[in-house]
Structure 1
Amino acid sequence: MKKFLLPVLAFISLTACNSDDNTSNQDINYSKLPQEFPFSSLMTLNGVNVINGGFGSGATAHPTRKGEFYVITDRGPNVAYSNGIKILVPNFTPTIMHFKINADGNIEVIKYIKLKNPSGQPITGLPNPAGMGSTGEIAYDANGNVLGTDNYGLDSESIVAALDGTFWVSDEYGPHIVHYNADGVEMERISPIGVNTGTRKLPAVFAKRRPNRGMEGMCMTPDGKMLVGTIQSTMYVPSKALATNTTLTRIVTFDLATGQTKQYLYKQDGGASDSVCDITPISNTEFLVIERDGNFGSVGGLKKVYRINLSGASDVSGTDLTAVDGMKINGKTLEQSTWAELSAAGITPVSKTLAVDLVAKIGYEHDKFEGIVYLGNNKLAVFNDDDFGVADDGNGNPKTKILPKTGKQDKGTMYIVDIQ
């Protein structure tokens, strides 16, 4: 696969990480936003309307066509159950939606691209088996029957659209970074050392991501040279019980030409239940990232975007990328160390400043704030993950996901917001 990738690197360009020069939006009519995506019903389950949605887990701009975007679903409609999850539609295929803002200012779907394995067969959102990126989650159907696994299954969370027409997608299982061709067929799968996929690797420590808290965000630098991924929450390094610094999470960079990786620390405002989600670049070193909690914005939820900069931050890769616990200081993992201990060891996290508080700025009411695309000129496109209009009733069954402010079923919506 490396022989194929290297020649095309010169053609890989702007994606979810768009630069100001390529994203002048003066001739794009965004005046009708916010606007919901057009959706049909996927199925009705116990009286619950499961919508054919979920788009907004990740977002990216078309690399050359202004006003066109791609959004991606996750593994499909699901609820927590027993020691795993109920996958309500077991044969659901994670899907990319390509759409544009047309001349009337309306969202117009161009096409849907279903993700496929290297043989061209549609994948599912079922967990990976042991050795292939398993999180230990057990999947059940809506009736509580155990489902199987999928070697190529993906809990997709972010998307990058490259100039050559291909896509890079990251997920919460492996965590994997998967390269798909324009038709959604897998070309390469990059996973942590020790996970039995592909030859190019992420450091082994990333296999200790929390279940359902893997690589939530990813983008490409504007020079087309590097992928930048965000881990959603504190990883379980060395274990769940011992990973006590719950405001610490990691950013990883992957050089597309050499496969070299670097790691940086990110200090969250919140804690273990909060999330670092999508990332979009302003430059090759400066980015915008989402921080959110799981509450609806209309009832006091945290929905913020920060400007961060990798310049001046410490690379915490360490010397042994095969070490399952990664770099240590004073015999402790980074996740075991306090910020004071990390500072005393000379480790500096990425710098961050607030770019926008969506609740304060626009009264953002959704809970899953998961997709952003920087449009240039201090304008940001914002997308929510509607969870297919389904929420967990607390007993392992689905209920309709209702926005508390409006009383309506949650649906994927695109916003445009000015940032600082």
Structure 2
Amino acid sequence: MLKLIAISADFDPVHKGHEKLIKEGRKLADEKQKKLVVYLNKGYSANHSPFFVNFEARRDMALALGADEVKSFEGLHHRLVLSYSVPIRLNKMYEDGATDYITSAHISLDEIKNKAQKFVKQGNFVGMPKNYPNRNEIRWYALNEFLGSPLEYHVIPEFNKEKYSGRKIRKSILDNDMTIPKETRKLLPKTTIEILEDEIAAGRIPGERNWAEIYKRMNTYSRGNLEKIAYLNGNTINEIIKRRVYRDPESIWAVFRRANYGPVMTRLAVSAIEEEVTKKEVMDLMKSYEAKGVIPEGQKVQRVIDRAWYVANEGEKGVSAKEANETFRNKNIKVDTPPLNIHAGLNLTKFETKIVSEGLNADLYIDKDNKISVQLKADGKKIKTNLRLPAKEVTYLRYIMDSNFIPTTAHIKKDKKGYKVDITIG
């Protein structure tokens, strides 16, 4: 297998900071007699947004500066947060023959190692503190350690991040009517400028979201249909319903702010709506990588279900959800097998009871009064009703429904006293 030196990035577009990284990677590759391969995200950036510059143009920018080859990571960043996509990307690079990984940071490799140890010890890489300097580099190093350190890690000094900012470069071009201002040109390699100007002339910049599809889904989908989409919880769905109609991006950003989503989770949730990414789709993707040993133990699908069941049980003892969550994470609590099937009662009228039949599919959702409810169609009639469940099961099911990627399915089951809804988790 050919041995590689790997770089992983968005490069949107390639600026002089990236040029320095590629040249240092080139030098390392030549010293070790290996191939320099740049791995670019494709489709959606690591920040869960469409790219300003398309993959083909960014590939040409990297090749022009000395990369031997450019490969793509596609299908990840509208489905997964970084704590899940990074180990997948690391594993892919290793499978391709990468032996070394090179990146840039303004803290040293020793500092990165020290800060990474906490997360390696926990085996959970979700929730990297926002005040960590170079937290993305810390995440990559920590996850490389988790995978058994398959890649030798190299760090070069980072250029001024405030000055050499892809976001600011993109904004300057947009603000100047799709021309590259003089000050921005100073930040870009000559080859990048040439490729950018060709792309602008051809009308291929900037990449855009499919706002028409986003508006349609946010304006028309029922609570039950929105509940199936990844990264939407019950409170957020009710905010979406409450704030209709959506006609511009700002109205969409605003509803997620009201639902207490930060910028990163907002972009991921909007991307999931845009691509109609379901919770089941994300769960199945994660399980496929769990089977390869790529997903950390603390981030596995089963641990999310375990946490919900633990919090529900602790709640019965009077322990707050916050305290139970912290205990579960910090003490690596083991949980007896949580139930994956729940049988809930229904509040049906006499008429509804007559037209309902066993086997009908049903959609769970959180109603405007914050209660777990179900919607189904029987004999052409739409039926909506709250579920009847013990308090512990209500807490458990609500945690599952509010998770980012655990799906639920439900169907009607005949009971000796009438009808119940049979709920399957996962």
Q: TM-score, normalising length from structure 2?
A: 0.25
The structure with the larger Rg is 2
Report 1 or 2 for greater relative contact order, CA contacts < 8 Å, sequence distance ≥ 6.
Answer: 1
Higher strand share: 1
Would you tell me which structure has more helix in proportion to its own residues?
2
Using the size of structure 1 for normalisation, the TM-score is 0.25
